[in-house]
Every structure is written in structure tokens, then in C-alpha cells.
Amino acid sequence: TQLLEQSPQFLSIQEGENLTVYCNSSSVFSSLQWYRQEPGEGPVLLVTVVTGGEVKKLKRLTFQFGDARKDSSLHITAAQPGDTGLYLCAAHRGKLIFGQGTTLQVKP
């Protein structure tokens, strides 16, 4: 059983569409991170959210930490082909635990 459940596991959309990726858990976390992994490379940290209800924006990406600090979402506005990749949420439980990832494909 995954401590962090991501949905959907795979998403294929057209350039310009909006999308939301979810990261859910039954556990409470003091912080949650989102990483992006491009094909053939290692994950790179996008953001860390630490406060319940917190919203952070990174250009067209909006990250939200749930009020109860059990879940998080990543919303991308007007997706571009450069957004293609694997999106991973992660949280600390002694060590960093990762969700299984959401593979995003943005077609031109």
C-alpha cells in the first residue's frame, strides 16, 4: 500500500489545456514536495509546501497543500509540450517517501 497515492497515473492532453494532478494520503505531513522528472534525467524539486491551505505558484503551475495537510494538488494552466514528464509528490516519514508518479504527455 502506497503512503502517497497519486492520480491520475497517466495523462495525455493537447497543448493549451489545463490539468490537475492529485497526491493523497491518510497520514498528516509537516510538509510535502513536488518533483518533476524529464525523460532520461533525475527528479528536480519544484516546490515545498509546509502550511495547511498554502498555495504556491510557479509560473503556470499552482501547488496547494490541503487544510488538513494530508493531500496536495498540482494544477497546470495552458500546458505546453515542455511540461511533459513525470510528476512526483514526496513527503518525509523519517526519510523521503515518494508517490508512484503521474506521467504527463502534452501533445503539440
Partner 1 sequence: NAGVTQTPKFRVLKTGQSMTLLCAQDMNHEYMYWYRQDPGMGLRLIHYSVGEGTTAKGEVPDGYNVSRLKKQNFLLGLESAAPSQTSVYFCASSYPRGTQETQYFGPGTRLLVL
- Contact residues for partner 1, defined by CB under 8 A: 2, 4, 9, 29-31, 33, 40-45, 48, 50, 88, 91-92, 95-96, 98-101
In this complex, which beta carbon is closest to partner 1, that of residue 44 or of residue 58?
Answer: 44
Distances (CA, A) of 59 to 49, 75, 92, 96: 16, 11, 26, 26
Q: Rounded to the nearest whole angstrom, what is the least distance from the CB of residue 18 to partner 1 in the complex? A: 25
Q: Rounded to the nearest whole angstrom, what is the least distance from the CB of residue 55 to partner 1 in the complex? A: 17
Pairing of strands 55-58, 44-49: unpaired
End-to-end CA distance of the chain: 36
